[in-house]
Amino acid sequence: MRKYIQVRWHGRGGQGAVTAAMILAEAAYHEGYKGVTAAPFFGAERRGAPIIATNRLGRGPIRTFSLVDRPDVVVVLDETLLNVVDVCAGIQPDSLVLINTQKAPHLIELGRPVNVAAANATECARNAGLMVAGAVISNTAILGGFAKATGLISLASIEAALRDHFHGEAIEKNIQGARLAYESTKVMQVCQLQCA
């Protein structure tokens, strides 16, 4: 068991990794975690450039606010980043990498033995109508995949956080995307991560 769970998000500018990290923190609070943090990393990024965001989730207060460098869970919003960024940097042997992809988890090669989960969040978001200016926005859908793959936060808590964050018609579209991703996410092996 860990004192807290550390999550690192990899995405591209404009894909909503920072927003997803904030919503995950809200969901963790709904789940009963007392300590939650969401920290974006901003540099000179532009739309499409690789970016990161991080979370810490704990049952007690968290007094560490630096970026996560030894993640327990890595979420990759754009699988093309696997060729650009070492998404497994600092990862633990029992960590989980959740990737937005059409591929099955056992077909994804990350260069080291690690538990892999696959959620086709883009397709789930498209089916839920999560489009902005013709682009599919999959950041909230993959939160459903996070709930399924890790078991650390329930889908009900993800939905509650989405209701807090969105308004009107957007609430149901985002919840539908998360539900579709929850139902379709595949994991190589059951995630053993637990928070003390």
Confidence of residue 149 (pLDDT cuts 50, 70, 90): very high
pLDDT of residue 133: 84
- CB burial of 6-44 (b: ≥16 within 10 Å; e: otherwise) equals bbbbbbbeebbbbbbbbbbbbbbbbbebebbbbbbeeee
- Residue 118: beta bridge partners? 99, 186
Using the predicted structure, report yes or no on whether residue 44 has a pLDDT greater than 60: no
User: Residue 190 has which token pair?
Assistant: 């059951």
Supply φ then ψ for residue 157, to 5 degrees. -70, -35
Q: For residue 191, what are its two tokens?
A: 């995630």
Take residue 52 and report the two structure tokens written for it. 């990161």
Cα–Cα distance for residue pair 61/75, rounded to 1 Å: 24
In 24-88, beta strands by DSSP E: 35-41, 50-58, 73-76
CB 97 within 8 A of CB 34: no
Domains of the chain: 4-187 (3.40.920.10)
First to last CA, the chain: 5
Q: What is the pLDDT of residues 53-86, one digit of tens each?
A: 999 999 998 888 888 999 999 999 999 999 999 9
Q: Roughly what angle, to the nearest 10 degrees, separates helices 17-31 and 141-150?
A: 50
